[in-house]
Structure 1
Amino acid sequence: MATGPGSMSVEKSSSSQEVHMVDAGQIHFKQPQDEAIWEGAEKGNRSFFDELTEPQILKALTLRNEDGRSILHVASSNGHFEVVKLLSHGVDPAVSGVNACDDEGWTPLQSASSGGKGAVVEALLAAGADVNLANKGGRTPLHYAASKGHADIASMLISCGAKVNRKDKVGCTALHRAASSGHSSMCELLLEEGADIDATDVNGQTPLMMATICDNRQVALLLLRHGADVDIEDKDGYTVLGRANDDLRATLIDAAKVLAEE
């Protein structure tokens, strides 16, 4: 092992798995407690965090893993409401990291919304989470709740100011995401909350087109009943009927005829 000035080497203890860095005679190592903190966040060990002092908790909130995620990210994505509440409530959002982003731009609220962790979403919103923060893909918590069909979470987000017609980097709204995933109840909710039924993405495609392309006929018929325009052309010049397979095309034509007669 080199020990001269400015040299560095690494040793790993087989028993503790702690990494020791030797730099110019100085030994630095990861505090053993850090591993326990990450484990507590992942497993939702509230009693572990109850035993920490306030300075220890504040230090724990500054920790980041290799993906740039904090312990609040980890606890949130795993649905550990009690730990999330302890770490975030009554703490300045700038300190708790409730709006901190990981390396992909995900906040704890996005993780909880995507994972369907309703109680955690509620706790994060109460702690000052920004409902409209977007990740690197331009997607907000509502985009993820919509794509996964978490209607209860979508309702919470909207009631706290989520922008229903916010578009991501490819021009998709929450309604696009819900339609392409086949979540008819979510589409109904979004429409009730003012979603633009004929919003177009970067390819000129509407939610109805996406539902059609994905053969989500229940959603397609729902959007049709709500007045979606079947004549809009995407950037390739296709309409909804042009994008539909033969079976769905016939269904849409029949449905349009019935609606026209009403």
Structure 2
Amino acid sequence: MKRRALLSLALATAAAGAARAQVPPSPGEVAAYQGLHAAAQRGDVAAIARLLKSGAAIDATDGAGRTPLHVATFARQREAVRALLQAGANHAALEHGRYDAVTIAAVADDEDTLRLLLAGGASAKLVTSRYDGTALIAAAHLGHEGVVRQLIAAGAPLDHVNNLHWTAAIESVVLGDGGPRHQATLQALIDAGAKLQLADRSGHTPLALARSRGYAAMVAMLEKAGAR
């Protein structure tokens, strides 16, 4: 019973953590923005160019540690993202929640911005969040299949284990709903060669977790892939 309670707490905590990654600057923060942060929020590429030419710090941070690139990513201002990347913005910068732009786009299921970031040199390999996870783990948790496939193609570590002792494959099961989106996400990980024998802290593999939750389609996928 104690183990089940601890697992339930871990599930709730991890779910809340991923949700927070998608929270953009508040209306109050946006209203207070000046300079590059304001231009990034608006997607004003001309203003970005002008401010950079006049010496504005490209990686200046707001009160939450967000750079203009973070702000543009949250706002889905893709031309601003492109302009900042081309001007040398630090795409590996982490805001105070320890999220980089790639993880922000991944959690938001923003495939277009993610594609732009990756093409602009951003890495899919960073360890991010308070859980020492990755963008891939976060996207697998949420069932974002297209994002997961992009990240895999960009070299995201398939078998990274976060500090909850979960991999992307485990999270697609333990934090998923067993439905089509999470099934497709798990299949993407299987197709890429994820190690399906890696277990959580209690020794449960993705197959054992799928069985315990009654996720018959996932069980069938994992068994077909040779999982134990």
Both proteins in one fold, TM over 0.5: yes
Higher relative contact order (CA 8 A, sep 6+): 2
Alpha-carbon contact 1:175-1:195 (below 8 Å) kept? yes
2:144 to 134, 141, 150: 150
Structure 1 residue 167: Cα displacement: 1.1
Aligned runs of 1:189-200 on 2, under 5 Å?
A: 189-200=188-199
Q: State the TM-score, normalizing by the size of structure 2.
A: 0.75
Alpha-carbon contact 1:42-1:78 (below 8 Å) kept? yes
Q: 2:202 and 2:186 mapped to 1: Cα distance?
A: 21
Alpha-carbon contact 1:77-1:117 (below 8 Å) kept? no
Alpha-carbon contact 2:105-2:111 (below 8 Å) kept? yes
Q: 2:62 and 2:32 mapped to 1: Cα distance?
A: 14
Q: 1:204 and 1:75 mapped to 2: Cα distance?
A: 41
Q: Which residue of 1 aligns with 2:7?
A: none
Structure 1 residue 207: Cα displacement: 1.3
Q: Which residue of 1 aligns with 2:80?
A: 83
1:100 to 67, 75, 93: 93
Letter in 1 for 2:158: V
Alpha-carbon contact 1:100-1:107 (below 8 Å) kept? yes
Alpha-carbon contact 2:40-2:68 (below 8 Å) kept? yes
Q: 2:214 and 2:46 mapped to 1: Cα distance?
A: 48
Bigger mean CA offset, 38-47 vs 216-225: 38-47
Q: Which residue of 1 aligns with 2:67?
A: 70
Alpha-carbon contact 2:36-2:58 (below 8 Å) kept? no
Alpha-carbon contact 1:60-1:71 (below 8 Å) kept? no
Q: Which residue of 2 aligns with 1:177?
A: 171
SS of 2:69's equivalent?
helix
Question: Percent identical across equivalent pairs?
Answer: 24
Q: Unmatched 5+ residue regions in structure 1?
A: 1-31, 230-262
1:61 to 58, 62, 67: 58
- Equivalent pairs counted in the alignment come to 192
Letter in 2 for 1:55: K
Q: Which residue of 2 aligns with 1:139?
A: 133
Structure 1 residue 60: Cα displacement: 4.6
The structure whose Rg is larger is 1
Bigger mean CA offset, 38-47 vs 67-76: 38-47
Structure 1 residue 174: Cα displacement: 0.9
Q: CA RMSD in A?
A: 2.3
Higher helix proportion (structure 1 or 2)? 2
Aligned runs of 1:1-262 on 2, under 5 Å?
A: 34-35=33-34, 37-50=36-49, 52-56=50-54, 59-89=56-86, 91-92=87-88, 96-135=89-128, 136-180=130-174, 181=176, 182=178, 183-229=182-228
Seen in structure 2, the aligned counterparts of structure 1 residues 212 and 77 have a Cα distance that, compared at 3 Å, is farther
Alpha-carbon contact 1:142-1:162 (below 8 Å) kept? yes
Q: Which residue of 2 aligns with 1:28?
A: none
Alpha-carbon contact 2:36-2:56 (below 8 Å) kept? no
Q: 2:83 and 2:192 mapped to 1: Cα distance?
A: 32
Structure 1 residue 47: Cα displacement: 4.8
Letter in 1 for 2:191: E
Q: State the TM-score, normalizing by the size of structure 1.
A: 0.66
Q: 2:73 and 2:38 mapped to 1: Cα distance?
A: 13
Seen in structure 2, the aligned counterparts of structure 1 residues 65 and 195 have a Cα distance that, compared at 3 Å, is same
Structure 1 residue 188: Cα displacement: 0.9
Structure 1 residue 208: Cα displacement: 2.1
Alpha-carbon contact 2:173-2:209 (below 8 Å) kept? yes
